[in-house]
Amino acid sequence: MNSEQHYRAFYITTGWTLGLLLLGSVVHATGSSLACPDWPTCFGTMVPEMTGGVFWEHLHRLVAGGLVLIFMAATYMAWKPEARRPAIRRWALAGIVLLLVQSLFGGLTVLMQLPDAISTTHLALAFLFLALVTALTVVTSPGWSGGSGAGGHLPGLRTLAVSGAVLTFLQSVLGAAVRHMDAGLVCPDVPLCLGQWIPPLQTATVAVHFGHRVTGILLLITLLTLAVRAARSLGPSAARILAISAGVLVTLQVLLGFLSVYTRLAVVPVSLHTLLAASILSVTVGVAVMTWAPGEGSGAASEPADPEVVRHEEVPHGEVPHGG
Ligand code: HEM
Ligand code: HEM
């Protein structure tokens, strides 16, 4: 196997995971979560009649099974070519463990009849896995040579990318709490909440819902700043494209959040809201990994792999690249 092949396998796994996350969200939004009352079988069989809620729930399980197989295959393909990078092998193995635990949590959501904490954890583990497989895709990509190093020269950009990724994850877990606490419509109005900019935070559901809106705006500001900074300071590169995409996606995401409330949690906007959250996580993790500068303290090169990556003349004040 050459490295190109296992990169492709991780790339496909990332796309597959995004599809599975969308499907999981549809399972909940269509009220199909308990359509199969048992686990791992559905009505005692692996081939139930695919009608009504069983269609979504069992399809989600089958696609989840496919993900485990594809990711195991990608890990197998990466094993030999990555012999000199043991960290990649370790993270791929961690991914397999994470997927198995996640499947167990999927089963628990059914067997325990959807406790809020288990359902929310199911989403959190799904997003963690997505972050992991995205990072594996970036570091196994053919042109990868230990990062562009742009973050080492532009620490502000790296900090923004990492904060954006962490904030997206936390915001998504908060969103899952909103969903599973049935707090999606406790503020039935947008953009106000109960007719006020800051509603009375008397109940946990209003606090969680309002917190999700506030963190959403914070994330919007963070990722728009990242997009503008990257557009101004990076030359043509994947990192630049992804950072700008993060700004576009987060703007659409806020609109979809409002639309979810406005349509009283219609299946299409809430399911797209989950998909977009996952896409933003993938994109910000990608930028964070690409702008990481492993040169500092790790002995790897700290110069940009591509001298075009940093356009020196456009580096913002206070972020002067070394030797620029
Ligand atoms: C066979 C294993 C699995 C089973 C039985 C299962 C089952 C379920 C069920 C019943 C739901 C609806 C939960 C609810 O309404 O509270 C759900 C949602 C979901 N699943 Fe799975 N799942 C499995 C594997 C996976 C895997 C491997 C992933 C991703 C890596 C995943 C990602 C999701 C996501 C993102 C949701 C939406 C969560 C939310 O709405 O907050 N699932 N799953
Ligand atoms: C800007 C970044 C945002 C991100 C990353 C984000 C992410 C999420 C996620 C991942 C969920 C859980 C979906 C699931 O469990 O499958 C969610 C739920 C939700 N979000 Fe957001 N969200 C954002 C902004 C907003 C905004 C500004 C609003 C405005 C009202 C909003 C309204 C909602 C609502 C109502 C739910 C619950 C949906 C339901 O009950 O099914 N979100 N969000």
pLDDT by residue for the chain (324 residues), tens only, comes to 455 899 999 999 999 999 999 999 999 999 999 999 999 999 999 999 999 999 999 999 999 999 999 999 999 999 999 999 999 999 999 999 999 999 999 999 999 999 999 999 999 999 999 999 999 999 999 878 776 555 556 778 999 999 999 999 999 999 999 999 999 999 999 999 999 999 999 999 999 999 999 999 999 999 999 999 999 999 999 999 999 999 999 999 999 999 999 999 999 999 999 999 999 999 999 999 998 865 433 333 333 334 333 333 333 333 323 322
Q: Is 178 in the pocket of ligand 2 (CB under 6 A)?
A: yes
C-alpha 243/C-alpha 236 separation (Å) is: 12
Query: What pLDDT, on a 0 to 100 scale, did the predictor assign at position 297?
Result: 32
**Torsion of Cα atoms, 13 then 292 then 237 then 21, to 10°:** 30
Token representation of residue 21: 């996350």
C-alpha 151/C-alpha 158 separation (Å) is: 5
Ligand 1: list residues with CB < 6 Å: 17, 20-21, 24-25, 27-28, 33, 39, 57, 60-61, 64, 67, 99, 102-103, 106-107, 109-110, 114, 119, 122-123, 126, 129, 176, 179-180
Instruction: Give the list of residues 6+ apart from residue 89 with CB closer than 8 angstroms, or none.
Output: 75, 78, 79, 82, 83
Atom of ligand 1 nearest to the CA of 109: 10
Atom of ligand 1 nearest to the CA of 103: 2
Q: How far is CA 6 from CA 9, 70, 80, 242, 252, in A?
A: 5, 11, 10, 22, 32
Residue 186 DSSP class? S
Query: Which of 122, 169, 276 for a ligand 1 pocket mutation test, highest count of atoms within 8 Å of Cβ?
Result: 122
> How would you class 298 by CB atoms within 10 Å of its CB: exposed for 0-12, middle for 13-18, buried for 19 or more?
exposed
- Cα of 171 vs centre of ligand 1, distance in Å, is 18
Q: Is 274 in the pocket of ligand 2 (CB under 6 A)?
A: yes
Q: Confirm if 212 and 174 have CB atoms less than 8 A apart.
A: yes
C-alpha 69/C-alpha 321 separation (Å) is: 44
Token representation of residue 184: 């999606």
- The alpha carbon of residue 240 and the mean position of all alpha carbons in its chain are separated, in whole angstroms, by 18
- Cα of 175 vs centre of ligand 2, distance in Å, is 5
Token representation of residue 260: 């979810």
**Ligand at shortest distance from the CA of 270:** 2
Query: Which of 109, 270, 274 for a ligand 1 pocket mutation test, highest count of atoms within 8 Å of Cβ?
Result: 109
**Torsion of Cα atoms, 45 then 49 then 52 then 58, to 10°:** 40
Helical H runs in the chain? 3-29, 52-79, 86-111, 116-139, 150-153, 155-180, 204-233, 238-262, 267-290, 295-298
Residue with CA nearest ligand 1 atom 40: 25
- Measured in degrees and rounded to the nearest 5, phi and psi for residue 319 equal -130, 55
Tell me the three state secondary structure of residue 270. helix
Residue 296 DSSP class? H
Q: Confirm if 316 and 310 have CB atoms less than 8 A apart.
A: no
Query: What pLDDT, on a 0 to 100 scale, did the predictor assign at position 304?
Result: 39
Residue with CA nearest ligand 1 atom 29: 126
- Cα of 108 vs centre of ligand 1, distance in Å, is 10
Query: What pLDDT, on a 0 to 100 scale, did the predictor assign at position 292?
Result: 80
- Measured in degrees and rounded to the nearest 5, phi and psi for residue 195 equal 80, 5
Q: Confirm if 150 and 301 have CB atoms less than 8 A apart.
A: no
- Cα of 93 vs centre of ligand 2, distance in Å, is 31
Tell me the HSE value of 254 on the side-chain side, using a 13 A CA sphere. Answer: 17
- Measured in degrees and rounded to the nearest 5, phi and psi for residue 310 equal -105, 115
Prediction pTM value: 0.90
- Measured in degrees and rounded to the nearest 5, phi and psi for residue 42 equal -125, 110
Query: What pLDDT, on a 0 to 100 scale, did the predictor assign at position 155?
Result: 79
Task: Name which of 104, 102, 105 is nearest 131 in CA terms.
Answer: 102
Query: What pLDDT, on a 0 to 100 scale, did the predictor assign at position 307?
Result: 36
